[in-house]
Amino acid sequence: MTERDSHIADFLAAAGWGRARRRPLSGDASFRRYERVEGAQRNAVLMDAPPEVESVRPFRAVAELLADMGFSAPRIEAADEDRGLLLLEDFGDRTFARVLLESPDDGPALYTLATDTLIALHAAWSPARAAAAALPAYDNALLVDREAQLLTDWYLPAVGIRADTATRAAYAAAWTDSLRWLEAVPETLVLRDFFPDNLMLLKGRAGTSACGLLDFQDAVIGCCAYDLASLLQDARRDVPAQIEQAMIARYLAAFPALDAAAFRSAYTVMAAQRHAKVLGIFTRLAHRDGKPGYLRHIPRLWRLLEAALEDPALRPVKAWFDETVPAGFRRIPAQETTA
């Protein structure tokens, strides 16, 4: 038994789950590990996040914030933050992604529930809650310097393009120009990974409470269009155009004071930023973390990004891509970086 195993065993025993059966759950794109802990009457989920890699404190803080607002985030049953261990309410296995795969006809209802959850979340948000939450701003330091540049850090070398200082600076400048379109729409709580793999369909709960929320530890205060773009321009699956347009219209109908044209521009800019970022992330997952399965989504990301770049709000970013990443380089990278 390793020292980590011993810590986990002690943690579960102290929480009253020492004799429970444990089995691994499928992981995600992070360094966190999950196990289902099976008790005599009910189950729980163990989150194991080594503190030298990732803190569990943001997850706990946002989970408690969401629960306080009336949303279905997992209840924290026990915590050892110093050792990176949380015992969470078990939401089961019915992710939206699984339901969509098993029952495609349920798609409209699931996307409506997810959109209604965002509407309720944004309607409940307020400057007072933002101040109390003390979450980071989704500003250019995050959107450009840390996220958009993931494409130049990982994707470009993987397809044989060298991004020198001038190329990176031009890329940052293009994004900074296009991100000004966000100033015309409100800011709110942004969960950042709001898509079917992180949403749970919960039995016995009504309305938006039936939408279980996961993977929100990176929440920030930012553009109200981001999470809707994450949901409807999904890197992992095709969303029918009629569903996307219906959900955008549903969101706008809920906020009649919102400038529809400004929102649609912000939505497209946020979608493009996310696609560019995820091109870098999925390449990094393949090359650094040994998870090549994510590369199969690269063609979809390029289709979505190219469509978004036709929007006038993204003209500077499109010009950079046309010059720096021409069509022949918009492909699945090799398994190993060669540049």
In a shared domain, residues 124 and 33 = no
In a shared domain, residues 105 and 221 = yes
Q: For residue 7, what are the domain limits? A: 3-89
In a shared domain, residues 185 and 319 = yes
CA dist 210 and 113 (Å) reads 8
Higher per-residue pLDDT: 104 or 337: 104
In a shared domain, residues 106 and 9 = no
Tell me, what's the pLDDT at 18?
87
pLDDT > 60? residue 28: no
Mean pLDDT value across residues 242-246: 98
pLDDT tens for residues 47-80?
999 888 889 999 999 999 999 999 999 999 999 9
In a shared domain, residues 322 and 199 = yes
Which of 73, 89, 105 is the endpoint of a domain? 89
Q: Is 177 exposed, middle or buried (0-12, 13-18, 19+ CB in 10 A)?
A: middle
In the chain, the number of structural domains is: 2
In a shared domain, residues 137 and 236 = yes
In a shared domain, residues 84 and 108 = no
Domain of 64, CATH number, reads 3.30.200.20
Residue 337 domain-assigned (yes or no):
no
Domain of 111, CATH number, reads 3.90.1200.10
How far lies 246's CA from each of 113, 190, 213, 300, 308, in Å? Answer: 13, 21, 22, 21, 18
pLDDT tens for residues 127-181?
888 888 899 999 999 999 999 999 999 999 999 999 999 999 999 999 999 999 9
Residue 83 domain-assigned (yes or no):
yes
